[in-house]
Structure 1
């Protein structure tokens, strides 16, 4: 299946959602281009870091990330989401509406405008007082890309896209390693596209901090199961620039899936607690599945993916909630979402504190519908 022939009109709900992310630019002042020279950052304020180097957004605009100071030993690393692109028509910012977030300075990439785990005033926030790193998403590659690609649109126009997801996240990791060298607990998470990349980066963080407790949580990305995924990952260069792990060498790239990043990291770091949250009828994931060439219900595919991972990674924990919403960590409903009598915020707090409970599913009490 050619990634250049997906119909843009197949995902109107997704496109409208992503387009609504555009808004006022960031007001934060960039404090340093060099991670190891950044001044102390107050726990109540966000600072914006412009790392330079090889970092870049999809169309060549600058990348920047955000840090909120806090406990030196406890860090939450969040990879933001916002669509994806793997064809000329999808990646061209002239497409109206644009089906992915192409700039770091869009409102959807500003943690000051988000709620959920970024609400430091909420007493129920599991990460209140932690150091928080927020990695904006502007490369259309689930933070996994490692090459520049020249696509052709259906009108014959050439579109150059910088899939620099790996370089961008690495810049944030470099800041983390330099400024929190003795971190004891690191929670690696992400929403939507960021959820897809989160298990890969949890593995890198675990390599860096062998004595620390690393926990991984993917938010709103568990239903992807389609033959076209392997081709998309190759298009982005997702398996280029990966560490020299035997677990990656053993991977069949021609048949790879997003679940394989869980498997690779779990094989390398079997002690790591891995987890994910999804709404069983997630409409955004359903729209993306359409672009990937499958019309199967996301609920069915999510259940199959979770069953496969439970078989391959017995310690993984999943939370499957009713509804067609998309992601929870960035929104206030993170504190009210509950399934089978378990509140999501409490479930995540237990994960963060090393007290992983059981997997939770609305199938248990027939509340999915």
Structure 2
């Protein structure tokens, strides 16, 4: 047995012996317990079973959290699924195509990934109801197409870009569990951060009585003239989402469209690190066809982040930002903050991301770290 196989076996055995998530079978949510709900009729990109994660808090506040996990935009990327097995083998993974065991391990077992999801009392969001829309389709949660490709061994395969159907199935459960939230926060990281403004209109419409709404995207910036084609042809996103994608900046397009739909009904938030390592890596793939981090790419992304902030500020509604320079263990800029330990512990100008977000959902919005943006 190879080393990666031993590691994979050990991970599965540990998860079985010490379960963190409880299977939700009868829809009876006990407070302050994390559950996973398997959804019949839904599928991950690799046709694996699909589930969502949910926790009932001790309040009527609701966080709808959009999980990230890469993307697939063509046949080459489709050939690089990011199953836990492949990752342990050191193979390139462009996108998550299974939610278990990888996502459960990532969000609930790695000690550096706690943040907004932790039940610890020092988390201002511990009392919130949290519904996590899982991700395993490589399509920013908006796809509606089965994509045919040939795998590394020359065999025909299908990547199920069914993110939108999975999201809608999750939303149906969320509205039943938490029908009347007093506060609604729609947030997400990475691919989920791109999804936030794309699907926020659907979420807000599902809670028509809730007037206290905040949307927050964490770590999203990727530029390409191909976005309109990818969204319409590769992913076949719903028309009401696809029609808003018109430029090389898909996040700004999604937010522009959302602002046109709901105006100032929501507070608009964005956080990101300058020279974000993962975003730099994927941007290099778009620009030069290589999925790799480079210092030159990071410098380019820093300047692109400045431009994106300016574009979001120009959308005609109050938009507020948390810009950071948090580092990974390798010294490069951290990707994703909401579910990381730096959400509680990291600080810019003496303010943690948790404090900034908690203030925002309670009506006190402001910017942090704007002086870190390259000029």
TM-score normalised by L of structure 1? 0.82
Please say if residues 142 and 163 of structure 2, whose CA atoms lie closer than 8 Å, have aligned partners that are also in contact.
Answer: yes
Q: Confirm whether residue 316 of structure 1 aligns to residue 310 of structure 2.
A: no
**Which structure's residues are more often helix, by fraction?**
2
**Aligned ranges 1:200-239 → 2 under 5 Å:** 200-212=198-210, 213-221=212-220, 223-237=221-235, 239=237
Please say if residues 199 and 216 of structure 1, whose CA atoms lie closer than 8 Å, have aligned partners that are also in contact.
Answer: yes
Q: Provide closer, same or farther for how the CA distance between residues 367 and 149 of structure 1 changes in structure 2, counting only shifts above 3 A.
A: closer
Q: How far, CA to CA, are the matches of 1:112 and 1:256 in structure 2? A: 32
Q: How far, CA to CA, are the matches of 1:317 and 1:238 in structure 2? A: 31
Please say if residues 115 and 332 of structure 1, whose CA atoms lie closer than 8 Å, have aligned partners that are also in contact.
Answer: yes
Q: Confirm whether residue 331 of structure 1 aligns to residue 335 of structure 2.
A: no
Q: Provide closer, same or farther for how the CA distance between residues 179 and 118 of structure 1 changes in structure 2, counting only shifts above 3 A.
A: same
Q: Provide closer, same or farther for how the CA distance between residues 241 and 115 of structure 1 changes in structure 2, counting only shifts above 3 A.
A: same
**Aligned ranges 1:1-369 → 2 under 5 Å:** 24=12, 27=19, 28-32=21-25, 38-39=27-28, 41-53=29-41, 55-71=42-58, 73-92=60-79, 96-110=91-105, 111-113=107-109, 114-123=113-122, 125-152=123-150, 157-212=155-210, 213-221=212-220, 223-237=221-235, 239-240=237-238, 242=240, 251=244, 253=246, 257-270=250-263, 271-293=265-287, 295=297, 297-323=300-326, 324-356=333-365, 358-363=366-371
**Structure 2 unmatched runs, 5+:** 1-7, 289-296, 327-332
Q: Provide closer, same or farther for how the CA distance between residues 71 and 269 of structure 1 changes in structure 2, counting only shifts above 3 A.
A: farther
Higher RCO, 1 vs 2 (CA within 8 Å, ≥6 residues apart): 1
Supply the RMSD in Å over aligned alpha carbons: 2.7
Mean alpha-carbon deviation: is it higher for 152-161 or for 256-265? 152-161
Other structure's SS at 2:131 match: strand
Q: How far, CA to CA, are the matches of 1:57 and 1:103 in structure 2? A: 6
Please say if residues 321 and 370 of structure 2, whose CA atoms lie closer than 8 Å, have aligned partners that are also in contact.
Answer: no
Count of aligned residue pairs for this structure pair:
333
Alpha-carbon distance, 1:181 to partner? 1.3
Structure 1 runs of 4+ aligned residues shifted over 6 Å read none
Q: How far, CA to CA, are the matches of 2:278 and 2:71 in structure 1? A: 11
Other structure's SS at 1:314 match: coil
Alpha-carbon distance, 1:156 to partner? 5.3
Alpha-carbon distance, 1:340 to partner? 3.0
Q: How far, CA to CA, are the matches of 2:124 and 2:228 in structure 1? A: 35
Please say if residues 223 and 248 of structure 2, whose CA atoms lie closer than 8 Å, have aligned partners that are also in contact.
Answer: no
TM-score normalised by L of structure 2? 0.81
Please say if residues 278 and 319 of structure 1, whose CA atoms lie closer than 8 Å, have aligned partners that are also in contact.
Answer: yes
Q: How far, CA to CA, are the matches of 1:235 and 1:91 in structure 2? A: 15
Please say if residues 245 and 254 of structure 2, whose CA atoms lie closer than 8 Å, have aligned partners that are also in contact.
Answer: no
